[in-house]
A and B are shown apart, each in its own frame.
Chain A
């Protein structure tokens, strides 16, 4: 591989995160996943209740 290829802007550049930062990112990703999961369950439950006739009386 030539030197030109190594400095090409399209070459992928990756940086390893420090362990602490990776743990933090993993925790955040898990929180986002849980939040989305809860939202999906809420929308489903509310939809079922509304279809069943529950609502303002």
Chain B
């Protein structure tokens, strides 16, 4: 903590940008995108203004859970170099204020989504916040190396929330989108954990490479890559996407498997392939969801 932060009331030094940072804007952008795809792919229509408010509610709900996560994890964020400059460990925002901010936005986002769309979507958003904060942050994160496997459900729910906001239902198609993100989460985060292992070790977080070692993690990344590549084609198989989507999903899945194979074959000290896989995994998810979005928007597949 800086001297200035230590000697004055931290709340006096916090600016709006610090509260915005509490919302984890990069995670929020992924949530907005996947929820938007869910909304567009869902049958039915919603007034554009209500759709915009619903999307804003989902984004704010995701941000609120990010703020509550930072409140709960402030002690370990201070230890990890990747997170040490976050508003709470850097001393710019007091913990209690972050908790109040996150709690307030949680209630507000769920209420606004209920008003703009329906109770199913609002209930799913409330469950997403609860799952991320209580099940993942408070319970699983410091307990088990399966933390992000189970906790990944929270990050996978936004397209289901978006689908429910428009259609008032959560059918199989919405859960296929959920499954793609759910299966994508472990290889994505384990690739990161491979080259940030020291950070997690110091903070005492039982990430897979810390508990089971790098070799086991690399094997599991490859196994998940195989399952993910197969699951990525599911939207075509259940009839919610065209052959064009199948080509994109198959090609991206093949690259994902290839990069995971390189991670598997790499030496323990060689983290280059893990960094490449981490970067590509973001592109993979974006490509699959963007293809579904484009197909729906241009009427290629309705």
Contact = CB atoms under 8 A, between A and B. Distances in A.
Interface of A: 17-18, 20-22, 24-25, 27-28, 31, 39, 42-43, 45-47, 49-50, 54-57
Given A28-B19, A39-B108, A55-B117, 15 more contacts: A18-B8, A21-B8, A21-B9, A21-B12, A21-B13, A24-B14, A24-B15, A28-B16, A43-B112, A43-B115, A49-B49, A54-B50, A56-B45, A56-B117, A57-B44
B134 interface: no
B12 A46 contact: no
Dominant SS at the B interface? helix
Interface in B91-130: 108, 112, 115-118
Contacts of B14: 24, 28
Interface residues of B, number: 26
Given A49-B47, A57-B45, A27 B16 contact: yes
Given A28-B15, A28-B19, A56 B49 contact: no
A28 B116 CA distance: 28
A50 B115 contact: yes
Given A54-B50, A56-B44, A24 B115 contact: no
B228 interface: no
B23 to A, nearest CB: 12
B46 interface: yes
Contacts of A47: 115
A56 B46 contact: yes
A56 B8 contact: no
A10 B45 CA distance: 61
